[in-house]
Structure 1
Amino acid sequence: MSRIRLAALQTYGIFMEGTKNFYVDTKDYIKIRRNLKASSGDFKKLIRREIEFNDYLRQRLKHNKSLLKHLRRFQCSFPEQYPQSLIKEWLKILDSLRGGNQPDVQQILDCKLMFGPGPYCLLCLEGDHLWHLAQLHSISLSLARRKSLARRAIILMEMDQAILREGGVHNMPMKALQKSCYIRGLNPAFVTKEHLIFWLNQWLKISTHVQAKELSLLLHCPLLLGYNEPSNLRLF
């Protein structure tokens, strides 16, 4: 087993510790949404715990907007060796996200060269871009962010492979689907099982085609696959 994979697996326990209370939190969130609806959207009528939980759910996904801005910063300065057809397809993805739509998975895979060894690979990302990406994945370390993000991506890939080994998304119970989508950046509250299956399958299609040099693509998937998801938009 390679050293980087061993280090990632050692980090697995810490990562899962941060999500072990997901089921309780989801129940709380459903209760909060019902109470908020009953109170006509008046946060003053909610208890402190309910308000805190609404804020907590937004903490990761709020960084997507800044990440999208960072991705767009490169659109006028792509390396000359990049085919114009590739750049054109990538700009379509960015325009789709800005326009309120989700890009097609195959479109994203067609542009994975942008993430390794392209301008969006982990080694090429600027400090502020790295910070927002780390926050999206609940990584608070101020040092070694690239290493921590690489480990997080490997953990996600290992989890994705485990899903496939255990029979695929369709064999997962509802709670497991909700937790898996939550970890990967989709708010599962009030989302049908059918859509959770669809969304997680979309993620797996990308994950199974990502190589070690393209880990940055998987780390950006919460943005690429979830930016305009209705359940995520409801958090803001």
Structure 2
Amino acid sequence: PAAIRIYRIFKEGFQDFYQDFKGLMIVRKKLRRNYHELGCLSRQELELNMRMPGDMYRVAPVLLISALPFANYVVFPLAYLFPRQLLCRHFWTLQQKIQYSVLDQKRRLRYYKPVFRALQSKVSSLKGHQTHNLWRQCIAQLGSGLHPGSIKVANVQHLFGNGQVYDLKNLPSSHLRVLLKMHDMHTGWRRRKRLLERAKMIYYMDLAIMREGGVEAMSQEDVRTACFIRGLNPTNMNADETVRWLKEWIKLSKGLKDESWSFILHLPILTAYNHPSNWVLIH
């Protein structure tokens, strides 16, 4: 019966949510003890720290209203009918998690081209720079439906470093806005600080993956989640393809120099802009 199904979904969902909430509190305490150094966290702890606040914000109205007398008789069936809008991943089935992740990725993909155009618009200003020709080749390849090789991408990393043209501090507000949207973040206050925090979170996740045995040690579900976080739709890829792509990403990420955090934020463009698995969502 529907009533029993709803009861089971909410019972198990609340249990999972509460466990993750407790886990988040432990993570926050751990960060305070270690002076907010993200390197002290495991990959799972970093993912929890990044995703759980959004889950709490999403499900908060349902939890608050359901606390009112008899309100749960209305709120829970309504939330069951609109799980994506009113609930978070703790209450979703595996199929729903994949479906909603794809929808989120499809929304993010709308901002890939504007971010690419923002990168492209600065190419001419780099004339005379030692890597101008190399960067122009990278942009040309991306514009023609290809991806530059990882060696090329690594060699232009410094363009995103301190004081450089693509440094976070030097990006215009229009670029920041689409970059935030591409990373599924709101465009309100503290734009640069929140982007910096996101870049660090992803970077330290990459280091944690290497520290914990590499991509091969991850489950396929964890690999898919990691791909979604980094801007790639993995649903049309087999296990070997997702592992290979994530390993290439981490190879680029772990070579970060001069605090080129903007490089991490733009890696979805440099590594997944023309990926067939992404293109199938928008074409």
By the TM > 0.5 criterion, same fold? Answer: yes
SS at match of 2:185: coil
Deviations 1:9-58 (Å, cap 9, x if unpaired)? 9996452224872995762387x7xxxxxxxxxxxxxxxxxxx8765331
| 1:104 counterpart letter in structure 2 | G
| 2:125 counterpart letter in structure 1 | S
* From 227, 230, 235, the counterpart of 2:273: 227
| 1:57 counterpart letter in structure 2 | Q
Bigger relative CO (Cα 8 Å, ≥ 6 apart): 1
Q: Distance in 1 between matches of 2:237 and 2:90?
A: 16
The 3 A distance-change label for structure 1 pair 103 and 212 is same
Q: Distance in 1 between matches of 2:172 and 2:94?
A: 34
Deviation at 1:111, TM superposition (A): 0.6
* From 83, 90, 93, the counterpart of 2:135: 90
Structure 2: gaps of 5 or more residues: 1-33, 56-87
Q: Distance in 1 between matches of 2:107 and 2:161?
A: 28
* From 111, 119, 131, the counterpart of 1:71: 119
Instruction: Report % sequence identity.
Output: 28
Task: Indicate conservation of the 8 Å contact 1:4/1:151, yes or no.
Answer: no
The 3 A distance-change label for structure 1 pair 202 and 24 is farther
Q: Distance in 2 between matches of 1:176 and 1:54?
A: 15
Q: Which residue of 1 aligns with 2:9?
A: none
SS at match of 2:168: coil
Task: Indicate conservation of the 8 Å contact 2:101/2:228, yes or no.
Answer: no
What is the CA RMSD across the aligned residues, in angstroms? 2.9
Task: Indicate conservation of the 8 Å contact 1:102/1:228, yes or no.
Answer: yes
For the pair 1:166 / 2:201, whether they are aligned, the reply is: no
After the TM superposition, which parts of structure 1 deviate over 4 Å for at least 4 consecutive aligned residues? 1-6, 8-14, 22-26, 52-55
Q: Distance in 1 between matches of 2:91 and 2:154?
A: 32
* From 107, 111, 117, the counterpart of 1:59: 107
| Structure of higher CA gyration radius | 2
Q: Distance in 1 between matches of 2:192 and 2:107?
A: 20
Task: Indicate conservation of the 8 Å contact 2:46/2:205, yes or no.
Answer: no
Deviation at 1:192, TM superposition (A): 0.5
SS at match of 1:235: helix
| 1:113 counterpart letter in structure 2 | H
Deviation at 1:224, TM superposition (A): 0.8
Q: Distance in 1 between matches of 2:173 and 2:38?
A: 25
Q: Which residue of 2 aligns with 1:205?
A: 251
Q: Which residue of 1 aligns with 2:177?
A: 131
**Bigger helix fraction:** 2
Q: Distance in 2 between matches of 1:59 and 1:89?
A: 31
* From 84, 89, 95, the counterpart of 1:21: 89
Instruction: State how many pairs are aligned.
Output: 212
Structure 1: gaps of 5 or more residues: 33-51
The 3 A distance-change label for structure 1 pair 205 and 22 is farther
SS at match of 1:77: helix
Deviation at 1:141, TM superposition (A): 4.4
Q: Which residue of 1 aligns with 2:65?
A: none
The 3 A distance-change label for structure 1 pair 150 and 111 is same
| 1:107 counterpart letter in structure 2 | K
* From 107, 116, 122, the counterpart of 2:152: 107
The 3 A distance-change label for structure 1 pair 23 and 90 is farther
The 3 A distance-change label for structure 1 pair 208 and 65 is same
